[in-house]
Structure 1
C-alpha cells in the first residue's frame, strides 16, 4: 500500500494502491500513469511554500515591519509558514505567531508555531483548535500600532479555526454542521451558518487586529475563490446575515433537529440582539489569493498536452451533486468517442471545483472523488473501454478516508460485478479497495479542491 507523504517523500514516488486487485496492462497501465502524472502536475503548481515566499519577498511593508504577527489555519499551513520564514530569514527575530494545522504536520519551524488543531483524516473542529484560535485572537488584539499581521489561510481552515460564540458549545456547532453536510448543503450555505456562530469567522479575526496592516495570503479551496467563503472568511467582510443563516436551516428542513442554543443565537442576531458580522473591511486589511483550482487546472492542461492529448478543460466552477456531475461528464465522453465533438481522441477532459454527496440513508465508506469515479464507470459501463478516469482531492484527502481519490478503467469495473450496488450504498472506498484503484498520497501540503481527469486513447 502506498503511504508516501508529499512533505517527506518526493511526490513523483506516489502511485495508486493495488490492494487485492491487479494493475491494468498495456495501454490501460500507460493511461493510468498519465492520469497520475497530470494530477501531480496540478498539485505541484499550487505548492504553498514558493507561492508565499514570493508574495512576502515582494511586499516591502511586511519586510520592514517592526514586528510581524502570524496567524492562520489550513492544510497548507506548514508550507505557507515555511515560505514566510524563508522570505524573512534575515529578520526572523521580528516574527511570532501560530498556525492551526492537522496533527502530524507540526514539525517545528524557527518562529511560527504549528499547532495541532485536529487529527488527520477527521475534518471536524476540536477543543485543541479552539485553544489555538483563541490564542490568535489574543495575539491580534494585543498588536502595537506599528505591527503588521499576516494571516495564512488555506483549505480546511474553517474546521481548524473554531471559536464558538458564547452560549453555543463546540458540540452544538459541530452538530448543525453535520446536519447541513448530510443534507447536501453547499459550502457557501454551511459557511453562512458557521460564520454566525463564530467569534472569529466572517471578518471577526480582522476585527480583532489593532495594528497597522493585516495581509491575508490565501490558498483557495472554494469554487470561484470568494474571499468571504474561504475558511469562512476570517479576514473578509461577510455579505450574509443572521436571517440568511436561518433561511439555510429552513431550506433543508433542519430547524427541528438543530440544537436549541444555535437557534436561540441566530434568532437573537436576526432580532438585533447580537452584533452582525462586519460588512466592510477596514482599509488596513488586504486579502490576496495566491493559489487556486484554476492555477492547478492550467498546469494539468499543459502536462496533458505535453503527453500528446487534445484537452477539453471544463473549468474550475464545477459543483453540484457528485452523481449528477458524473452523468454530465459521461455525455461529454460519448460525444468525444462517437462524434469527435468538440474534439477527438486521444483526448483529456479536465474539470475542477468540488461536488457534494447527498448520503440519504445509505452510509457506506467513501468520498466525493471516489464516488465520482465509480458513478462515471457505472454510467458508461461497456463504453469504458479505452477510458481512464481519475478524481482526487489536491489535499490528499477524500471524505473520512485515507485516500485522496480513485482511478479506474474498464479492467477495474470488470473485477467486481456489483459496482451498482457499491454505488447505491455510497461505498466506493470498498469497491476500489478490492480493485486496486485507491490513490493514497498522504496529505499533500496544499488544498485547492479537486482535479478530475478523463483520458480517452
Structure 2
C-alpha cells in the first residue's frame, strides 16, 4: 500500500465523519422564521414554551446548536451525555438553559445516568398542552436513560439484562425486556409528555433506522405483547431466578400496549409526536462517495447495512477485492461471476438487486486512479482471545490476512475500517487500514499478524506495525453512525 492510498483513505473517512457532525445536522434540519419553527419543511408555531431533553453520545452538539436556534423560546432543558465527555472533546458552556448530566461510564448504565433520566422524567411529566418538547436522541442513548419501573431497582434490572445476554439473547430480545422494565423506553417518554406536542430529532446508529430500537424507542409506541418479556426470560430459564420486585413488575404489566384504548396512539404512532431521522450512515457514505470521486476514483456505495461476524465479512471483502482486481486487469465482458458472488453474500452485505446490477455494469477501467467501494454498517466480533482491539481493527487485520492468500500482483489493494464515533473498542483508535501487502511487510518486521488476530489483539499489532501509521486516530468525534468500510483497488 502506498502512502498516497493511505492518505486518500483517511481523507475519505474524515469527510464521511464531517458530514454527520451533530451541529451541522441540526442546522440543516431546524430553522426559525417569523415565529415558526421549521423542521424538515414541517412548520410548528413557537409562540408556546419550548423544552429540550436529550440522551446519547452526540446530543451535546445537537443541544448547544438547537439552543442557539431557539434563543429566548427555550424555557428549560435536561440532556444526559457520556461520562467524561467534557474532559475529552468538549467544554461545558458558560451559560445555558440546558442542564447537562454526565453518566454511563464505559457506556454502561449507572446511578448518574439514572439520576439524569429521573430529571428528564420530572421535566416531561409536568408539561401542558400548550408546551412544545424537543427530544434529541443519538447512539448510546439507551445507557443514558436507565430508569426502572417501580418497584425494580437499577441493579436488579441490569442483572436481568446481563443474564439474558450471557444466555445468548439477541438484541431484539434484550430490547423487548429493557422496554418492559423501563419508565422512559418503549414510548414511555412520549406518554409522560402527553398532551404536549413532541418533536424528536434522531441521529441513528442502527441499520435501517428502526425507531423502536434507537435508544430503545422512547418516543415510539411499544407494540410488544404484554407477556413477550416474560416469555423471553422463561426461554433462557431465568424467570425462577428473578428477584421479587421484577416478578411483581412483570405480573402487573398484564395488558397489551395497543388495546385500542390508548388515546395517544393514532394509526400506529403517537398522535402528539413527530419523529425525524436527521442523520444516519447513509449521509456519511454519500459524503465518502463524493470525496472518493473527487480524488479520481471510480466510486460506488454498495451497502449501508453491513452486518454479520467480522471474520466472515473479512473473507467476503477479500474475495470481492480479488474479483474487482481481475476485472480491472482484463478485457472480460462476462461479469456473471461478480453478480453471483454479490447475490450469494446478500445476507451479510445487504446489497439490493438494483445495486448489484449497477455495480456489475461499472466500467472498472474508466479511472487510472482505481476503484473505491464504500460500505457502512456494524459487524460483530466473537471474542476468543484476551488481547486489545475493536471490531474495526480486527476487520482490517483479518482482511489483510485473507487478501494475502490470493497473492494478487496486478493491483494495489487497500482497506479501511473505522468507527464514526472515533473509538473502536477499548482503544484510542477509530480503526485501522489493511492492505494486500500488509502480511508480507509485517513478516519482514518479524511480526506475525495471524497470532495477533487469533488473540483479538489487533490494536497491539497495529501499534507496532509500520510504526503505528496504519492506525487511524481521530479522538472522540462527537457523532456516531456506526462504521465506514472503504475498499480501494488500484492498478499497479
> What is the TM-score of this pair, normalised by structure 1?
0.84
Q: Hey, what does 2:19 align to over in structure 1?
A: 45
The more displaced of 364-373 and 57-66 is: 57-66
Q: Which runs of 5+ in 1 are unaligned?
A: 1-26
**Displacement of 1:118 after TM fit?**
2.5
Distance 1:405 1:214, change over 3 A: same
| 2:458 corresponds to which of 420, 428, 431 | 428
**Residue 374 in 1 paired to residue 348 in 2?**
no
Distance 1:259 1:291 in 2: 41
**Displacement of 1:256 after TM fit?**
4.7
Query: In the alignment, is the contact (CA less than 8 A) between 1:154 and 1:218 conserved in 2?
Result: yes
Distance 1:65 1:389 in 2: 52
Q: Hey, what does 2:144 align to over in structure 1?
A: 160
**Residue 96 in 1 paired to residue 80 in 2?**
no
| 1:393 corresponds to which of 389, 413, 419 | 419
Distance 1:353 1:362, change over 3 A: same
Query: In the alignment, is the contact (CA less than 8 A) between 1:53 and 1:86 conserved in 2?
Result: no
**Displacement of 1:425 after TM fit?**
2.0
Q: Hey, what does 1:33 align to over in structure 2?
A: 7
Distance 1:362 1:258 in 2: 33
Distance 2:320 2:151 in 1: 50
| 2:97 corresponds to which of 96, 111, 126 | 111
**Displacement of 1:266 after TM fit?**
6.9
| SS of the residue 1:297 aligns to | helix
Q: Hey, what does 1:15 align to over in structure 2?
A: none
Query: In the alignment, is the contact (CA less than 8 A) between 2:400 and 2:438 conserved in 1?
Result: no
Q: Hey, what does 2:208 align to over in structure 1?
A: 224
Give the number of aligned pairs.
Answer: 422
Q: Which runs of 5+ in 2 are unaligned?
A: 87-91, 259-264, 329-337, 339-359
Q: Hey, what does 2:320 align to over in structure 1?
A: 332
Map 1:281-430 onto structure 2 (within 5 A). 281-340=269-328, 342=360, 343=362, 344=364, 346-359=370-383, 361-382=384-405, 383=407, 386-410=412-436, 412-413=438-439, 414-415=441-442, 417-430=447-460
| SS of the residue 1:415 aligns to | helix
Rg larger in structure: 2
Q: For residues 307-337 of structure 1, give each alpha carbon's deviation from its aligned partner in whole angstroms, at most 9, with x where no partner exists.
A: 1111232211111112112222122111101
**Displacement of 1:137 after TM fit?**
0.6
> What is the TM-score of this pair, normalised by structure 2?
0.78
Distance 1:273 1:289, change over 3 A: closer
The more displaced of 139-148 and 341-350 is: 341-350
**Displacement of 1:268 after TM fit?**
6.2
Distance 1:339 1:242, change over 3 A: farther
Q: Hey, what does 1:146 align to over in structure 2?
A: 130
| SS of the residue 2:30 aligns to | helix
Distance 1:220 1:266 in 2: 33
**Displacement of 1:47 after TM fit?**
1.3
Q: Hey, what does 1:456 align to over in structure 2?
A: 489
**Displacement of 1:66 after TM fit?**
2.3
Query: In the alignment, is the contact (CA less than 8 A) between 1:57 and 1:63 conserved in 2?
Result: no
Distance 1:390 1:258 in 2: 47
Q: Hey, what does 1:76 align to over in structure 2?
A: 58
| SS of the residue 2:387 aligns to | coil
Query: In the alignment, is the contact (CA less than 8 A) between 1:98 and 1:114 conserved in 2?
Result: yes
> Which structure is higher in strand share?
2
Distance 1:222 1:231, change over 3 A: same
Distance 1:222 1:57 in 2: 26
